[in-house]
Structure 1
Amino acid sequence: MKYVIGIDLGTSAVKTILVDRKGQICAVVSKSYPLIHEQTGYSEQDPEEWVQQTTRALKELISSSNIKPEDIEGISYSGQMHGLVLLDESYNLLRNSILWNDTRTTEQCNYLYKVIGEKRLLEITKNQALEGFTLPKLLWVKEREPEIFEKTAVFMLPKDYLRFKMTGCIHSEYSDAAGTLLLNISKKKWDEELCELVGVSISLCPPLVESSECIGNVNEEFSQKTGLTTSTKVFAGGADNACGAIGAGILSPGETLCSIGTSGVVLSYEERSDRDFNGKVHYFNHGKENAFYTMGVTLSAGHSLNWFKENFAENDTFEELLADLKNVPIGSNGLLFTPYLVGERTPHADATIRGSFIGMDASHKKSDFTRAVVEGITFSLNESIEIFREYGKEITSIVSIGGGAKNEQWLQIQADIFNAKIIKLSTEQGPALGAAMLASYGCGWYNSLEKCANAFITSSKIYYPNQASVKVYKQLYALYKEVYNQTKELSKELNQFNKR
């Protein structure tokens, strides 16, 4: 039997999975690493932590699975998007990586609009200038750490640095490059006009390849540390959301994904590069060749539920916390929650808005608050679906993965709020499986990602919208949408009293 490995380099941990030719998960090993928060709004990591923990995970994966390393044909990657890694001309690290959830770059985003113009930026990159993207981080280093910027020979994205350390080869690929604000999405190349306008040499941008392209083999140093053989092929991989889409089978028109992790994502497949959403949602290159996807983001999806549990139900498991969802009526007995704990992304690109409970009275119980949190998260995700539909996309079925797919009542709530059938997968490994699928396709096991998906992915249950519940939720959703406009100025005013 032959195998491939999928590596998902996340924000808090790296996950490695070993998959055979039938799509069976043979072993899973994860290793965590810390975040660095030096001050408010800053979020960094030491890229060497990624390398060290991935090395440990792969070594354990091979030893625990009792397979021959020479039977591992290929490796590919999924990676946290947008993170900035800087290397000098000798390919040494110059500083910690600035991550996707770092918000220090508001001034740089405003500068981009000033020198490029919002319309032209959208024409080139299909996306707004947001603090999470890579180019604003690069401009921040240029302004605040000029001595580091002067030494920079190439910038990389997180998974691309890990792959470089495993192979010695420097590349990026289109799905991750799309999140930098430096890629011309339609033309699939780094944009010279944009680089010139912002004073960044295009030579800093790494060579671009397809996600399924073999860029080399495991090098001797990494082979000795992990037990992998130097005959194992290494493929470029993709951005975490692109790989999540592949791992959920979102590979043809009309297919849509809802993923509820720390943040929440609604992602829909696109086969065209010329659709125009006026920057209201993200528009990125897919991990599938010559394909694209649109995406809306809720910054605090699962994070909102985790925050509520840690602060108000710390003795409950998530299963216990969500068990009472079915015993609370739609609308949580008149209680609404907005999940803006760290600001919001879609449809409100607003770093200062904060969350709220609306409608509290003395009769409300913990179960009411729990259902309100779940409904609020789902309402926020529905705002992205609403945008897709307003711009002509037909969405009738959605694959749900992540924390929101672990509870049957929450899956039914999604069906009712989204007014679409919700598909739950039999097994779910998310972006790591998508990375493994890219490796299996690259190795020639299948002649298309679609055929790979047919072999690797099966559904276990479908949840259909209850039209009576759909009607009630439409009324409640209209109220939910009013809360942002009613509280955005209050949030700004209240911020002066936040002493943390």
Structure 2
Amino acid sequence: MSGYVVGADIGTSCLKVALVHPERGVISISEQPYPMHRPEPFWAQNDAHDWYAALAKAIPEVLNSGGVDPKEVVALCLVGQRDLAVLLDEDGEVLTPVIHWTDRRDPDETTAIYDNIGRKELIDRSGTLPIPGLWLPNLAWTKNHLPQVWARVRHVLTPKDYLAYRLTGDIGTDPTGPTRSVMNDWRNEGWSEQTCQALGLPIEFLPEVKYRSWEPRGVLGESARDIGLAPGTTLVAGGGDDPAAALGSGVIKPGDISIGTGSSMSWRVVDSQPRHDPTGLIGLMPHVVPNTYLHEMVAVGSGTTLRWFRDTFGNDEPFVELISQAAKVDRGSQGLLCYPFVEGASVPFQDDKARATFFGIASHHERSHFVRSVLESIAYQYPSLLEVVKSRGLPVGTLTISDGEARSAVWNQIKADVLGVPITPAVHVEAPAMGAAILAGFATEQFASFEEAVNVVVDRGEPINPDPHSHERYTELRTEWERLRNVVYPDLAG
């Protein structure tokens, strides 16, 4: 018998929930914001309790909106950020605010921990580029600066595994859980004993990898009522936000590419085999779809730069309205250039200490010029990232734009024109939550296959083709953008 499924995504600034029916597709969506806490310059922290409170608001909202009784929901699946480490004591209580991956409180200390263990060794073991904000440097900071807290640590969990623990009392994770920690071993799809020893963290404090993303991990008891569901609802293992986003945008076949700009810009490439990149530029992880892998590049600061601009100069204007102003301005933003490195740069070249800059500000520039220059600066990175994908011998097929940016026709056209190839926007932009709902449905046999689930749940728009004249002009503009970037940021010159 068909039943509803719920997918939830724990993001940087909000929790999103999707209610899906296996025959009718997407029924309703809820988004519950929570604050990013910045008690000091360059600090960024989440309160883990905010995630649970947001989940308890979002699920009743989607059920009420869809006119669905909680007893009609057969499964819940959680996905979320993998970069954040939630520290628990022996009683399962949260010990500290959760250091966010955008946190840049001590770049020199981050460099030291990576150099001491060995960057090459870490890339070889983890398949991940050692950048600031991930588990390893954040745990090292806690150990060095909060020794009394460190002494009480007994469990370290990802956000979605923390919520699963709150709901079931079970501690565990799936193979995507360790993949942005730099403490994992990609070969065994688990944790690295060597890296844990180097940090001085007992490996048993880390959650056992004991579920596949598409498998049930338990059944909710009375805790279900706290979040608006009924006891007996199946909890599905879930996975990381980026692989879930790929699934939620229909990216499940080798060569399919999902591109999303949230706080960062992520490229996710599906492959039939695990290909380790010795440079670490392309991260490696299992996909949340059986027998496939995901290669990932994450450009930090991209979406955060746009959010910073909106929050500082946009009077909290909705992103769709803010971005629409870019249509008033011609290609190149009339000479205004932006380098969107508010939190450093990571790919294709790395400079953790890089900071954002606007160049060429003139008296004729208005807010719309600044908006377009930010959008163009993010798009200017696309060709280099596509070249990295091709240079590693990865298959290249359809490029799908997911996340909130897919709503913007003007930004999508900029990206297609800069890149010179067609891109396809997703209609429903809450891709990680959609992917979570698909996992919930597959685990409880609401869908016979992932292909069937994608056909029911995922809706794509028409491909956006590049304009030949605009592509030619943008190639000239991007060349100038890169030339100046290499002067101002020599570490990004390659």
Deviation at 1:166, TM superposition (A): 1.0
CA separation in 1, counterparts of 2:357 and 2:236?
Answer: 44
Deviation at 1:442, TM superposition (A): 0.7
CA separation in 2, counterparts of 1:160 and 1:189?
Answer: 15
Q: Counterpart of 1:302 in 2: which secondary structure?
A: helix
Q: How does 1:352-391 map to 2 (within 5 A)?
A: 352-391=353-392
CA separation in 2, counterparts of 1:92 and 1:327?
Answer: 51
Aligned partners of 1:104 and 1:131 also within 8 Å: no
Cα gap change, 1:107 to 1:323, in 2 (>3 Å): closer
**1:46 corresponds to 2:47:** yes
Q: Counterpart of 2:151 in 1: which secondary structure?
A: helix
TM-score scaled by length of structure 2: 0.91
CA separation in 2, counterparts of 1:341 and 1:70?
Answer: 46
Q: Counterpart of 1:257 in 2: which secondary structure?
A: strand
Deviation at 1:434, TM superposition (A): 0.6
Structure 2 gap segments, 5+ residues each: none
TM-score scaled by length of structure 1: 0.90
Q: Counterpart of 1:140 in 2: which secondary structure?
A: helix
CA separation in 2, counterparts of 1:142 and 1:317?
Answer: 40
Cα gap change, 1:320 to 1:72, in 2 (>3 Å): closer
* Post-superposition CA distance 1:56-110 (Å, at most 9, x none): 3223433443323222111101212211111122222222222222223534533
Q: Counterpart of 2:347 in 1: which secondary structure?
A: coil
1:29 aligns to what? 30
Cα gap change, 1:487 to 1:13, in 2 (>3 Å): same
Cα gap change, 1:150 to 1:8, in 2 (>3 Å): same
**1:446 corresponds to 2:447:** yes
1:169 aligns to what? 170
1:67 aligns to what? 68
Q: Counterpart of 1:461 in 2: which secondary structure?
A: coil
Paired amino acid for 2:353? T
Task: After superposing the two structures, state which structure 1 stretch, 291-300 or 410-419, moved more.
Answer: 291-300
Cα gap change, 1:318 to 1:213, in 2 (>3 Å): closer
1:117 aligns to what? 118
Deviation at 1:277, TM superposition (A): 5.3
1:82 aligns to what? 83
Deviation at 1:490, TM superposition (A): 12
* Post-superposition CA distance 1:94-149 (Å, at most 9, x none): 22222222223534533443443222211110122222111221222222222222
Cα gap change, 1:469 to 1:61, in 2 (>3 Å): closer
CA separation in 2, counterparts of 1:173 and 1:317?
Answer: 35
Deviation at 1:463, TM superposition (A): 1.0
Cα gap change, 1:18 to 1:137, in 2 (>3 Å): same
1:7 aligns to what? 8
Q: Counterpart of 2:295 in 1: which secondary structure?
A: strand
* Post-superposition CA distance 1:1-51 (Å, at most 9, x none): 510001111222222221111252223233222222221222222212222
CA separation in 2, counterparts of 1:230 and 1:316?
Answer: 40
1:229 aligns to what? 230
Paired amino acid for 1:35? M
Cα gap change, 1:150 to 1:309, in 2 (>3 Å): closer
Cα gap change, 1:113 to 1:99, in 2 (>3 Å): closer
Aligned partners of 2:18 and 2:30 also within 8 Å: yes
Task: After superposing the two structures, state which structure 1 stretch, 416-425 or 296-305, moved more.
Answer: 296-305
Cα gap change, 1:371 to 1:277, in 2 (>3 Å): farther
Cα gap change, 1:127 to 1:445, in 2 (>3 Å): same
- % of aligned pairs identical? 27
* Post-superposition CA distance 1:176-195 (Å, at most 9, x none): 21111121112212112222
Structure 1 gap segments, 5+ residues each: 492-500
**1:219 corresponds to 2:206:** no
2:57 aligns to what? 56
CA separation in 2, counterparts of 1:114 and 1:325?
Answer: 42
Q: Runs in 1 of length 4+ with deviation above 6 angstroms? A: none
Q: Counterpart of 2:244 in 1: which secondary structure?
A: helix
1:494 aligns to what? none
Aligned partners of 1:115 and 1:198 also within 8 Å: no
Task: After superposing the two structures, state which structure 1 stretch, 83-92 or 342-351, moved more.
Answer: 342-351
2:413 aligns to what? 412
Aligned partners of 1:8 and 1:240 also within 8 Å: yes
CA separation in 2, counterparts of 1:95 and 1:281?
Answer: 31
